[in-house]
Amino acid sequence: MKVHCDIRFTNSTHGTYQSGQQVTGQVQIKLTEPKKFNEITLKIIGVTNVKWTQKRGQGRQRRTVYYTANRDHLASMKVLVGSTGGNPTELPAGEHIYEFACELPAQLPTSFEGSYGHCRYTAQVVMDRPWKFNLTYKVGFTVIQPRDLNLQSPSIRLPSRMEDARVFCCGIWRTKPLFVRVTVPCTGYVPGQAIPLTIDLNNQSSRIIEGVNMKLLQEITYRAEYPAARIRREVHTIVKHIGDGVASEALIQYKQRLVVPTVIPTCGDLNIISVAYRLHITVRVTGCGSDPVLEIPLIIGTTPLTLQQPDTVAIPPDETTNAAVVSGEGSGFNFGTVPPQLPSASGLVRENTLPPEYLPPPTYEEAMNGAAVVITDDTDTNAIGTKPYVPLYPSYNFTGIQWPPLPPTTPQPPLPPKQ
């Protein structure tokens, strides 16, 4: 190849930005021999696309319908090399470096790659050559719309509880009730943080509980606009744990911590792609009848909930998974003194966007089960190269730390006593 091109982001190690920040970088062009160009431009594009197909009609009237929607979020262009008096410009052999900068709007949606659509940001160099096809080179970068949990509704700081009472029938025979209660201390979390889940079971029935399925579900909603408004949803299980069974006429309480993996934050309020999360608890009971199902909506953010700064942060006592609750006292852990400003994983120093200094700063990691996607398309004729692209999302290291510290246990109304 006689022409080599590369795009580097100079103020972000991994090409990850928050909306409202400035993107700066360099375009590097290497020529093995002199070349003439009408123009060399850099285009920075942000767009959301949704597309899927459905079969409609019967027999000979059966056809395939394409549902689509598009949103343009960002379009910036800079001329790196222009023509001279209407004539092509000749670049000598060697390396040529061009600087660029682009201000990102404050309300850009978060980058996302899904089965039926994507929100994608790219930087592309287009080399217009006289009497020849254009050469193109494209790279992707990640934009994250910040979601500070401390700026959400105050209700996410409150404990959330769901209850279910179930009686199982078989003909004229009815069992005694099964009572289920699920409690979480708050409904806002960040990737890397554990969700402390408490499940109370009072099985007064003669049925045996085979197990308790605990899931963190991610629901993605795609909205098409042409040829008609349509919605398509897909649900993914991103965390799953199966609890042990419970005998008949038994009362037990489980405590389980579900760690949120690296996933896209809750987003899409104003976009054609939205992502939401919820806890999904299923109590699997033997015999006929429906299983109790309880769900609690959650918000996954980019900045964790903070309390007033303590001198120490408690580490929870070791617990045996799916064992009955054992009371215990946690020891303290002191983070010590650290600088008031913490650098992000991209190497930038941000003010007022990170947690307090006693919490670790986030890193940026590939989304769970994320795979590199091809970002070139039919319009990228004669592409001379590209880089694998996977969105990167913030994740925190809370290993061995319960954050936020659990509030003092408040008395809750007991489940109905065993009859």
Same domain, yes or no: 248 and 218: yes
**Residue 261: what pLDDT?**
93
Tens-of-pLDDT digits for all 419 residues of the chain? 588 999 999 988 788 999 999 999 999 999 999 999 999 999 999 999 999 999 888 888 888 999 999 999 999 999 999 887 778 899 999 999 999 999 999 989 999 999 999 999 999 999 998 888 888 999 999 999 999 999 988 899 999 999 988 887 766 677 788 899 999 999 999 999 999 999 999 888 888 888 899 999 999 999 999 999 999 999 999 999 988 888 888 888 889 999 999 999 999 776 899 999 999 999 988 877 788 899 999 999 999 988 644 334 444 444 333 333 333 333 222 222 233 333 334 333 333 333 455 567 888 888 877 777 888 776 666 777 777 788 999 999 877 666 666 655 555 566 665 55
Q: State the pTM of this model.
A: 0.81
| Domain contains 308 | no
Query: Which residues constitute the domain of residue 259?
Result: 150-300
| Domain contains 400 | no
**Residue 404: what pLDDT?**
65
Spatial neighbors of 31 by CB under 8 A, at least 6 apart, are: 2, 3, 4, 91, 92, 93, 94, 96
Instruction: Count up the domains in the chain and report the number.
Output: 2
| Domain contains 403 | no
Cα–Cα dist 365/299, whole Å: 19
* CATH code at position 82: 2.60.40.640
**DSSP letter string over 18-33?**
ETTSEEEEEEEEEESS
| Domain contains 316 | no
Spatial neighbors of 87 by CB under 8 A, at least 6 apart, are: none
Tell me the two tokens of residue 48: 């959301």
φ, ψ dihedrals at 406, nearest 5°: -65, 135
Same domain, yes or no: 165 and 140: no
Cα–Cα dist 279/298, whole Å: 7
Spatial neighbors of 19 by CB under 8 A, at least 6 apart, are: 104, 105, 106, 107, 108, 143, 144, 145, 146
Whose CA is closest to 310, among 399, 396, 401?
401
C-beta separation of 28 from 44 below 8 A: no
Cα–Cα dist 37/357, whole Å: 51
Same domain, yes or no: 243 and 373: no
